[in-house]
Amino acid sequence: MLTDIFENSKQVFLDTVDAKDHVQIDRFSTIYQSLKDSVNKPLKMILLYGKPGTGKSMFLSKLYNDLLPMKRIFLYQNPILDDSEFFKRLAQDILDVKYQGELNFTQFMKIIEEYSSDETPVVLLDEAQLYSSNLMEKIRLLSDTRKIKFVITLHKTEEEDLIAKEHFQTRIWDTIELENASAEELKTYIQKKLMKANCFDIAHMFKENNVKLIHKLTRGNYRETNKLLYTLFEIYLHYLEFNPSRINANKISNKLIEMSAIHTGILNA
Amino acid sequence: MLKIDDLEAKWLRYKIKSYTPRFIVSFFIFLGVLFFIFFDLPYNFILEKQSEIFSDHNHNTLAKNDLTTLSETKKNSDSEGISEDVNIDTSKKKKIVQTHDEITLSPSMNFIQSIRQDTPIYYDKEKTNKKVSTKSQVVKKEAVIHSPRIEEIVLKTDVTKKETSEINIKRKNTQKDIEDVIERFKKSNNPVLSLFIAKKYYELKDYRQAYNYALTTNELNNKIEDSWIIFAKSLYMLQGKYKAIEILNKYIAESNSQKAKILLENIKSGKLQ
């Protein structure tokens, strides 16, 4: 019984990008609403940026799921790095045309300029820092036609700071930054995530000092938190199976949190 | 697969490692306390003993001196009469003062230096003039200078310090101050006033108002460098980092402003708080 509860809790923190796993936090709701509003505005490009693990992909996924019934929206979670493949995919999604051979930018521009629709299709590009600057330049030119609207996510790193380039700055009409969680937000995140999976007892086992330690270790990064808690429940399961007398199953142990941090490489022992 | 034993051993190592600095610090604090207890207290005890011995010794010398002076006075009064008794009394006093010099801590004259530093130059000049004129008197009276005088002087220096600290004018940037300037600006439409308001609002962390007034200033006169700077800074504070960068780039291209370049660098590097 207890093993099942811990097993369920472990699965809750499996690091996946699924809009259904999205947890409602006040700050998330505000940011998400502003992102939704931006998509409905006549803007060419919207930039969603933040450090890795701050929930950019999750936001994009949720936006895609929410707007899919109402809008022509396409989500490219994995970057298409080849130019021709990228334009062929766009042509297929937006124009419903399947190209067999090569499709270069000039050809695609010609097609897209002739294309007219009542509604501007929205393309969500995740991990845009992986696209070459050359392809990004072409995406910018495409957005200038106002025939396609792009929402792009970028990692906030100095080397990959594409938006620093002047030509790009002028095209990005709205920027939304995602940040790591505060200790309070992290507590809400952990508890809501567990409660969503009906792990109420485990959710209440996380006390202030546990969350503070988790926040200190992960700096409020959601991905790191998921990783840490997944390992934590794995350790609990191990103890339950082999040495149940060594753990107190009624409260979360800071020792086990630190052990998880060591195992995941967050702490250097 | 988890290797719990390994993990536990690593955790133990981590704990030892994390507690080591704390242990070292507390060990040194403990050593310090020990040092204080075993070395400082006996030292104070020795000092007390020494002072006791000194005071006993001085009492003896004082008594001896008193005795010798008394015997001398007796002898002198017998031979030279009462008029010379007065002289002997003064010599007795001198001796007592001398013995006091040996016992008591002599006053430090360093305070004169500090007074000199505190007082303006023209006072100093007066003092030096006076000193020159009364130098011989001072030399004569040097032995008679008593500690109460020093206390008086020290008090005076304290008073001068207090006076200087009271001179500081405290200015409060209240909302009312700004409102007064806003009223003046409404009447005159002077960009200097609007820039002032923008700066004050920025200082008060009302970045939206700072942004508005910087923009107003810029509309009235777009050559004022500070209006660009406050505008960009407010924009940055209102989460418009990239807009702020864009604006600064445009302004730098036009004016080559050094101030704008520094601000741009600070914004890019995230140094602007």
Q: Name the maximum alpha-carbon separation found in chain A.
A: 72
pLDDT for A235 equals 94
Model confidence at A220: pLDDT above 60: yes
Report pLDDT for B219.
85
pLDDT of residue A173: 67
Nearest to A234 among B2, B10, B239 (CB): B2
Which chain A residue shows the shortest CA-CA distance from B240? A175
Q: pLDDT grade, residue A236 (50/70/90)?
A: very high
Name the residue of chain A whose CA is nearest to B16's CA.
Answer: A269
DSSP state of A245: G
CB contact (8 A) between residue B246 and residue A166:
yes
User: By the CB < 8 Å criterion, does A242 face chain B?
Assistant: yes
pLDDT value of residue A143: 87
* Other Cβ atoms closer than 10 A to A32: 20
Question: What does the mean pLDDT of chain A come to?
Answer: 86
**So what's the pLDDT on residue B135?**
44
Name chain A contacts of B249, Cβ cutoff 8 Å. 166, 169
Average pLDDT over residues B124-131: 45
* Neighbouring residues of A110: CB distance < 8 A, sequence distance ≥ 6: none
Average pLDDT along chain B: 69
Lowest-pLDDT choice from A89-103, A227-241, B123-137: B123-137
Cα–Cα distance measured from residue B252 to residue B12, given in angstroms and rounded to the nearest whole number: 57
Query: What secondary structure, in 3-state letters, does chain B show?
Result: CCCHHHHHHHHHHHHHHHHHHHHHHHHHHHHHHHHHHHHHHHHHHHHHHHHHHHHHHHHHHHHHHHHHHHHHHHHHHHHHCCHHHHHHHHHHHHHHHHHHHHHCCCCCCCHHHHHHHHCCHHHHHHHHHHHHHHHHHHHHHHHHCCHHHHHHHHHHHHHHHHHHHHHCCCCCCCHHHHHHHHHHHHHHCCHHHHHHHHHHHHHCCCHHHHHHHHHHHHHHCCCCHHHHHHHHHHHHHCCCHHHHHHHHHHHHHHHCCHHHHHHHHHHHHCCCC
B86 pLDDT band (50/70/90 cuts)?
A: very low
Band (pLDDT 50/70/90 cuts) for residue B220 is: confident
Q: Residue B242: its chain A contacts at CB < 8 A?
A: 163, 169, 172, 175
pLDDT at B257: 87
Position B129 pLDDT exceeds 70: no
Q: What is the pLDDT of residue B41?
A: 67
Question: Which chain B residues have a beta carbon less than 8 Å from that of A235?
Answer: 2, 4, 7
Q: Are A39 and A64 in contact (CB under 8 A)?
A: no
Q: Considering only the beta carbons, identify the residue of A234, A235, A262 that sits closest to B10.
A: A262
Please list every residue in chain A whose beta carbon sits closer than 8 Å to the beta carbon of residue B15: 258
Cα Rg of chain B, angstroms: 38
Any chain A CB within 8 A of the CB of B249?
Answer: yes
Nearest to A11 by CA among A236, A235, A229, A266: A229
Q: What number is the average pLDDT over the span A147-155? A: 88
Residues of chain A in contact with residue B14, where contact means CB-CB under 8 angstroms, are: 258, 262, 267-269
Output the six-digit token pair for A191: 């508890």
Contact predicate A5/A190, CB 8 Å: no
**What is the reported pLDDT for A24?**
76
A26 neighbors A15 (Cβ within 8 angstroms): no
In this predicted structure, what is the pLDDT of residue B102?
Answer: 46
Residue B65, pLDDT > 90, answer: no
Structure tokens at B89: 């009394």
User: Distance from CA of residue A80 to its chain's centroid?
Assistant: 18
Both tokens of A43, joined, read: 């803007």
Q: What is the per-residue pLDDT for A88?
A: 93
What is the 8-class DSSP label of residue A209?
A: H
pLDDT digits (tens, 9 = 90+) for A32-73: 888 888 888 877 788 888 888 888 888 899 999 999 998 899
Residue B12 has pLDDT above 60, yes or no: yes
Question: Predicted ipTM?
Answer: 0.74
A60, A67, A78: which is closest to A19 by C-alpha?
Answer: A60
Residues A192-198: what's their mean pLDDT? Answer: 89
Q: Report the share of chain A in percent with pLDDT over 90.
A: 38
Nearest CA-CA distance, residue A169 and chain B, Å: 7
User: In this predicted structure, what is the pLDDT of residue B228?
Assistant: 92
Decide if B249 and A166 are in contact by the 8 Å CB cutoff. yes
> Does the pLDDT at position B171 exceed 60?
no
pLDDT value, residue A51: 85
**In this predicted model, what pLDDT tens digit does every residue of A242-264 receive, in sequence order?**
988 888 878 899 999 999 999 99
Nearest by Cα to B150 from B212, B106, B206, B84: B106
A242: nearest CA in chain B?
A: B4
Highest mean pLDDT among A103-107, B54-58, B265-269: A103-107
Q: Tell me, yes or no, if A172 comes closer than 8 A to chain B by beta carbon.
A: yes
Which band of pLDDT confidence, cut at 50, 70 and 90, is reported for residue B17? confident
- The pLDDT of residue A233: 94
CA of A224 vs chain B CAs: smallest distance (Å): 19
Per-residue pLDDT, averaged over A27-31, amounts to 84
Cβ-contact A262, A217 below 8 angstroms: no
What is the pairing mode between strands A73-76 and A172-178?
unpaired
Q: First-to-last CA distance in chain B? A: 46
Test A262 with B249 for CB contact under 8 angstroms. no
Q: Which residues between 14 and 53 in chain B have a beta carbon less than 8 angstroms from any beta carbon of chain A?
A: 14-15, 17
Asked whether the beta carbons of A213 and A267 are under 8 A apart, the reply is: no
Q: Is B270 left (phi over 0), alpha (psi -120 to 50) or beta?
A: left
Distance CA B232, CA B270 (A): 14
Nearest-CA distance B261 → chain A (Å): 15
With vertex at residue B148, the alpha carbon angle to CA B143 and CA B150, rounded to the nearest 5 degrees, is: 75
CA dist list (Å): B125 to A89, B112, B119, B131, B134:
92, 14, 10, 10, 14
Q: Which of A170, A242, A262 sits opposite B7 (nearest CB)?
A: A262
Least confident of A145-154, B46-55, B193-202: B46-55
Of B4, B11, B249, the CB nearest to A258: B11
Mutate to test the interface with B, among A174, A175, A178, A266 (most CBs of B within 10 A): A175
Tell me the mean pLDDT in the region A139-156: 87
Checking if the pLDDT of B62 tops 80, the result is no
Architecture of domain B175-269: Alpha Horseshoe (1.25)
User: How many cross-chain Cβ pairs, A to B, lie less than 8 Å apart?
Assistant: 44
How many helices and strands, by DSSP H and E, does chain A display?
A: 12, 5
CA torsion B247→B251→B257→B260, rounded to 10°? -10
Which of B14, B239, B241 is opposite residue A262, by nearest beta carbon? Answer: B14
Closest CA to B202 of B232, B244, B180: B232
Residues A210 and A235: beta-carbon distance below 8 Å: no
What confidence tier does A269 reach under pLDDT thresholds 50, 70, 90? confident
Whether the predicted pLDDT of B77 surpasses 60: no
